[in-house]
A and B are shown apart, each in its own frame.
Chain A
């Protein structure tokens, strides 16, 4: 290394950045990230005002509605099955119902 190179290394010694710079950078980065998130949310709301962007959500709603309706039907049938008595008790109830209907018919 020549004498000039040694002097250059000395003259151009690395400079320590101020401690506050890191805080400042983190703050700016957080602000930018938050602003980007807000911008994205606004954009989504704006996009939803355009009917051309409704197709997908409407389809999703339809599929969701059908699925929800199907679920309700399935649950109702399950409840109905649960309410219907089985075995001897069921037989007894069905006999009583039949007898009741016969009595009503006789009285008429």
Chain B
């Protein structure tokens, strides 16, 4: 039988997890839902769920990073968010706010349309392809981490990302990704 970690130590470890991955969870949620308000809700709910199951997750992780687990929680919450409220991802709202908040002003002025086309193209991809690209490029997760977050094999994840990039490339060339 494994020894249980003391509550103060567990809380301290959870605080470290929170500090280390708050930006990742928020970025993922933001690119999934397309607005700050819902991204905040999903981020908060993700960490509340993580807090409830933290001890068990730590025990079962065998020392592996917990980031994929956190992102998987956010991923499921984002899916429920649309299901519960019959919403679709808001791909082109807050464009001005989003682009100016995330990117430096001079870059935005130069490539504003291109950025919007890419973001819309990503948002228009099928669910897992879109999510894999967000994890790869916004969170800089490797194939193994993405595989764990999506509950797939590493091989399947590599193929998924490859196909997502090809599809996005085609849609951008055809002008489908941007209205």
Interface of A with B (CB < 8 Å)? 2, 4-5, 7-18, 21-22, 24-25, 28-29, 32
Q: B87 contacts the other chain (Cβ, under 8 Å)?
A: no
- Chain B residues within 8 Å of A4, by CB: 165, 168-169, 172
Q: How many A-B residue pairs have CB under 8 A?
A: 79
- Which chain A residues border B114 with CB–CB below 8 Å? 7
Q: How far is the CB of B164 from chain A (nearest CB, A)?
A: 10
B40 touches A28 (CB 8 A): no
Query: Do B138 and A17 touch (CB < 8 A)?
Result: no
Contact B22 A9 (CB under 8 A): no
Instruction: Give me the interface of B with A, judged by CB distance under 8 Å.
Output: 18, 22-24, 26-27, 30-31, 36, 39-40, 43-44, 47-48, 51, 101-103, 107, 111, 114-115, 118-119, 122, 133-134, 136-139, 165, 168-169, 172
Is A15 touching B27 in the complex (CB atoms < 8 A)? yes
Chain A residues touching B, majority SS: helix
- Among B44, B122, B165, which residue has its beta carbon within 8 angstroms of that of A12? B122
Q: By the criterion CB–CB under 8 Å, are A24 and B40 in contact?
A: yes
**Contact A15:B101 (CB < 8 A) given known A5-B165, A21-B43, A24-B40:** yes
In the complex, chain B residues whose CB is within 8 Å of the CB of A10? 103, 107, 111, 115
| Chain B residues with CB below 8 A from A2, complex form | 165
Pull 16 A–B residue pairs with CB atoms less than 8 Å apart, ordered by A.
Answer: A2-B165, A4-B172, A7-B114, A8-B118, A8-B122, A8-B133, A8-B136, A12-B31, A13-B102, A14-B23, A14-B24, A15-B27, A17-B26, A21-B26, A25-B44, A29-B51
Q: With A25-B44, A29-B51 in contact, is A15–B26 under 8 Å at CB?
A: yes
